[in-house]
Amino acid sequence: MFDTYLEKISHKWIILNDLNLKHNKSFQIDSVLIGGQSIYPIDVKNFEHDYYMENGQWYHPNYPNDGKDLLLQLQRSKSLFQQLLTNLGYSNFTFISRLVFVNPTFTLYEAPRDLPAILPTQMNGFIENLGKQAVHVDFSHRKLADKLISMHRTKSEYSIIPAYDFESLEKGIFREKCRREWNWKEENL
């Protein structure tokens, strides 16, 4: 859905989607906009329904014990991305990271005014503002984009499965509470 919005400004900005990169640690960026002196690393969320913020945590009313710190996640990827680009010799950019919520049913209550987020009702204005910016894209921007694409990791380090063989695995069913092997015959005698 966000890519559809970005099509309106694709003639002005270099747009990269779904980058999986590594700089000390792996990180992922949903969309990156490059142009002029600005880079927008954007984290896209498809949250539904109502959420509220309390002490920096994001909560869904039905799951009040499952708070998430989305801003910490955004700051982490922005910081790793800035470090990576600095190491590549691209330290002259201004980084403007944003959380973008694309689902029209999403509502956020008690959000601070300076929240680096674009809510569904703000999407058209955000894209319009990006389209109005006088950005210049030149060879150095394209060279940076090509470098980032070449660094994209197609496999996540978290999806790597260790080597094993079936014979070396311990067989049995374990009880969740005591982590002890369950013996069906003992239980039913």
Tokens of 113: 């005014």
pLDDT tens-place string over residues 17-65:
998 888 888 888 899 999 989 999 999 999 888 998 888 888 888 776 7
pLDDT tens-place string over residues 89-147:
888 889 999 999 999 999 999 888 899 999 999 999 999 999 988 788 888 889 999 99
Instruction: Report the predicted TM-score, pTM, of the whole model to 2 decimal places.
Output: 0.75
pLDDT of residue 155: 64
pLDDT of residue 34: 92
What is the mean predicted confidence (pLDDT) over 65-72? 80
CATH code for the structural domain at 2-159: 3.40.1350
